[in-house]
Amino acid sequence: MDAMVRELSYAQAIQEAMALAMEADERVFLMGEDIGVYGGAFQVTGDLVERFGAERVMDTPISELGGAGVAVGAAMTGMRPVFEFQFSDFATLAMEQIVNQAAKMRFMLGGEVSVPLVMRFPAGSGTGAAAQHSQSLEAWLGHVPGLKVIQPATPHDAKGMLLAAIEDPDPVMIFEHKLLYKMKGPVPEGHYTVPIGKAEIRREGRDLTIVATSIMVHKALEAAETLEAEGIDVEVVDLRTIRPMDKATIIESVKKTSRLLCVYEAVKTLGIGAEVSAMIAESEAFDYLDAPVVRLGGAETPIPYNPELEKATVPQVPDIIAAARGLVQGTR
C-alpha cells in the first residue's frame, strides 16, 4: 500500500466522521447510553465528550424509547442528532419512535417537516453476547417506507456513508457490525461522502454474482479467492444500502454472470436475500439465469452463547464456498 495512504479502523473512521460533522455544523450532536465519559459501549465515541462537551455528547438514561423520542423531536426542530444504541437489538424498545414517528412525519405533515436523524446500531454476532445482543435486524427497518438503511462494510465507507447520513434530510439507520470495528483500511482525510443507495462491485467476475452485506462482504471476498483457484470466477457486490436498494447494479451483474448467491448474516427467512431474489425474478435478469437464485442466511434460531454454536448459526467462508461451487457446478 502507498505510504501516503492513511489507515484507520472502522471505529476510528466513524468517530472521525462524527467529529468532522460536529465541527462543521453546530446543529449536529450525539446522544446515547454511556457515550460520554465511558466513550461508548464499543469505544467509538471515545474522547469526543472532552472535545465537544457534555451538551453535544449527551449521555442518556437507560430508556431507548425515551432517547429515540428526544432525538426525533430534536430533528423535527432543525437539529441533527446522531443517536447510538448500545446494541442494535435494543431498537425493539424504540420501534414506536423509529417506525411510527421518524419514518412518517414528513409524509403526514405534507413535506413541511423533515427528520434529519441518524441512528447508529452496533449489530451482529461473533462477540459471545448471546441471543439478545447479537441479532441482525436491518431487514426489519428496511421494510419501513420513510427510512434509509445502510450497512457499510469498510472503514472508508463507514466514514463516507455516515457523513452522507448526517447531511441527509431524512432519517438514516446505520448498522455497524461489531466485528468490523477493529478492521483497518484506507480512509481519506477530511470531508467526503459515499452515496446512499449505491452498491459497490468489490470484485469483478464472470461465473457467479454474490450479493453480500456488511461483514459477509469480506467473507465472500475470501471465498472468491479460494474459488478462483478452482477456476470459478466470482463477482462480489457489496449492497451497502438496504433501502433504497441499488437494483440496477445487481441486475446488470446477474445478466453478466447468470447466477446469483445472496449472503447475509440475518435469519434467512424474510431477509434481505428474499428481496434481492424477488427483485431479480421480477426483472429482465430472470431470463439470463442458468440456475435458481440461492440464499445463504442465518439459521432459524436465536444466536447461541456457546462460541462454536454461535459460529455455526451464521454463514462462514466454507459455507459460501460450498454454495457457490454448487451453483456453478449445478448441484444446488
Number of domains composing the chain: 2
User: Do 292 and 327 contact (CB within 8 A), yes or no?
Assistant: no
Same domain, 179 and 205: no
Same domain as 176, residue 34: yes
- Amino acid letter, residue 123: A
Residue 244: is the preceding peptide bond cis (ω within 30°)?
A: yes
At residue 25, φ and ψ (nearest 5 deg) are -145, 115
pLDDT at residue 261, as a whole number: 98
Q: Mark whether 182 and 205 lie in a shared domain.
A: no
Domain end: 155, 186, 217, which one? Answer: 186
pLDDT at 3: 54
- Whether residue 152 is found in the same domain as residue 227: no
pLDDT given for residue 180 in this prediction: 98
Please indicate whether residue 218 is annotated as part of the active site.
no
List, edge to edge, every strand of the sheet that includes 260-267.
200-203, 234-238, 208-212, 260-267, 294-298
Task: Report pTM.
Answer: 0.95
Q: Is residue 192 part of a domain?
A: no
Q: How far apart are CA 48 and CA 58, in angstroms?
A: 10
114 and 231 inside one domain: no
Per-residue model confidence as pLDDT tens digits over 287-312: 999 999 999 999 999 999 999 999 99
Residues 24 and 139 in one domain: yes
Of the candidates 84, 133, 200, 218, the residue annotated as catalytic is 133
Helix, strand or coil, per DSSP, at residue 291: coil
**So what's the pLDDT on residue 259?**
98
Residues forming beta bridges with residue 172, ordered by sequence position: 118, 148
Rounded CA-CA distance 234/220 in Å is: 9
At 331 the pLDDT is: 72
Q: If you write DSSP's letter for every residue of 259-270 in order, what string do you get?
A: -EEEEEEEESTT
Residue 142 has what pLDDT? 97
Whether residue 11 is found in the same domain as residue 129: yes
Q: Among residues 186, 214, 235, which one ends one of the domains?
A: 186
Q: Is residue 195 part of a domain?
A: no
| Domain membership of residue 272 as a residue range | 200-329
Q: Known catalytic residue: 177? A: no
Do 104 and 15 lie in one domain? The reply is: yes
Catalytic residue among 16, 64, 167, 200: 64
User: Do residues 239 and 171 share a domain?
Assistant: no
CB under 8 A, 24+ apart: contacts of 308-313: 310/125, 310/126, 310/128, 310/134, 311/126, 313/125
Q: Considering the domain boundaries, does residue 2 fall inside one?
A: no
**Domain-terminating residue out of 152, 186, 220:** 186
Q: Which residues of the chain have pLDDT under 50?
A: 1
* pLDDT tens for each residue of 196-224: 999 999 999 999 999 999 999 999 999 99
Secondary structure of residue 113 in the 3-state scheme: coil
CATH of the domain at 301: 3.40.50.920
Span 219-244, pLDDT tens digits: 999 999 999 999 999 999 999 999 99
Residues 41 and 83 in one domain: yes
In DSSP terms, 28 is beta-bridged to 80
CATH label of the domain that carries residue 164: 3.40.50.970
Q: Please indicate, yes or no, whether residues 120 and 78 belong to a single structural domain of this protein.
A: yes
Tell me, yes or no, whether 171 and 234 share the same domain. Answer: no
pLDDT of the residue at 231:
95
